[in-house]
Amino acid sequence: MSTQDAELPKAPRVEGAPPHLLIVRAPYYRDVVDGLTTGAQRILTEANATAEVLDVAGAFELPQVIRIALRGHRKFDGFIALGCIVQGETDHYDFICKATMDGIMSVSLQFGIALGTGLLTCDTIAQAEARSNQDGHNKGAEAAAAALLQINAARHLGAV
């Protein structure tokens, strides 16, 4: 299914207290990641959730910083990872995409956290812009909705 075929993300209703999330973002492509962040924050606001935003050096650091946040004393109900990796002329793209996604999944599974992922892996910047604008299917909004649904599931199942 293409991005154009997907339904626009809507904020799910969250059971219990309003959730507090950490948005960890890699703003190498600042305009794209700002668009993802705006989309995520729109969904969170609609769901009466709050969020803090923390920038990291690059996509590779996303899972590392989420893990650091889990070690800290501050409590987050969920996490949203946002970033953009655009294909270049070398194999670097493949290595960074795989390592970052594997790291995000590893942290999520190992620690059982609610984690929405809005990491764009695109061939061109135009593809990234299409997935981060506010007029279309914003992947940051989708990541926020996914994180909220996971928070709901964890609360419903008594996992928190």
What residues are annotated to the active site? 92
Q: Are 141 and 39 in contact (CB under 8 A)?
A: yes
Radius of gyration of the chain (CA): 15
Instruction: Mark out the alpha helices in the chain (DSSP H runs).
Output: 30-46, 62-71, 92-111, 125-130, 139-156
How many whole angstroms separate alpha carbon 89 and alpha carbon 155?
A: 45
Helical packing angle, 92-111 and 62-71, nearest 10°? 20
CA-based nearest residue to 49, from 77, 75, 26? 77
The one-letter code for the residue type at 36 is: L
For 83, the enclosing helix (H) or strand (E) is: strand 78-86
